Structure 1
Amino acid sequence: MPYHHGDLRRAILTAAVEAITAVGSANLSLRDVARRAGVSHAAPVHHFGDKAGVLTALAEEGFDLLARELSSAGDDFAEVGVAYVRFAVTHPAHFEVMFRPDTHHRDDPALAAARGRAGAVLAQGARQRAGEYADVAAWSLMHGFATLWLTGALPARLGDDLTASARGVARTLFGD
């Protein structure tokens, strides 16, 4: 559906998600984003400055979505891990960009704030765990699992039930 008027920012970000889904963030072009959004090729540059600006806004949006997803999981730390994996699989374009600081403006204040909000939810649950690095251990485990799921690299014995598999992995490390 071509863009005519309204929320240009939203139209460009939606088009960027579509483009990343099709070609990956490394191959993203602003001309393709503009075409998908139905706007002039100059519109994304005018609104975001450059490709990294678009990806920064997308990463910020992703961290905000992740923070909400993690918060909705409640107090069960293993379920927070499951929510993390569910977010990654539901929002693969955001997930890809969020953790590729070489593609966006890592020091952007709005992005840093959004990243902090998501990190705070994870850290809150990790504080209940023993060890100085519980938050990093939890993040590493669930991020790795999500990445392996997205790339199809997990053993077939896990089947196709994402939630059950993620829950099993999380509970192995974090217990009941």
Structure 2
Amino acid sequence: MTYAREDLDAFHAAADAANQYTPFEIGDVEFAAAAEALLSHVYKAIHYLAGVVDDHSTSELHAHILELMRAGHTQAAIAKASAVSTTTISRIVNNSTARYAPDVAARLLAVPVTKPEPPPLNPSILAALERGEQVSVPFGYKARYAEALARTGVDTKRIANSLNMSYAQAIKAKRAAA
């Protein structure tokens, strides 16, 4: 696992705060010696982690993933494009992780923020709709099929009837296709 820079900074600040406290005031010499030895190991751990820290912060990854999602990418599409698990992406989005594998940041940041190319429309569905048949279209595709029909010159009423949509939606599709 790799720690983000903010984790290492927080760890270092906690060690410095602990170092400010002097157990000698307690009067327990054994406790003071143990605390001093422990802090020495903590600083060694911080020095080691500095070599494996990832310079990309979790907040930077969070912002990049949200930007990809605003552009229309799903978490599954981001996972596929970056070869990062959807679980890791979800954890970063929900701010529930600050650690990730060393190459995760690089792979996620390599995914360009562009609007994803929509899959092509099914020609057999489009042909059936052009004939005026009522056909069930995949979820979220009604507007695209309506625009495609409008571009082929199908009238507004037939678009509304074929796609089982309101007349106002069919008019909107006609305007979008123009």
TM-score bracket relative to the smaller structure:
under 0.3
- Give me the TM-score of the superposition, normalised by structure 1: 0.26
TM-score computed with the length of structure 2 as normaliser? 0.25
Structure exhibiting the larger radius of gyration computed from Cα positions? 2
Q: Which has the higher contact order (CA 8 A, sep 6+)?
A: 1
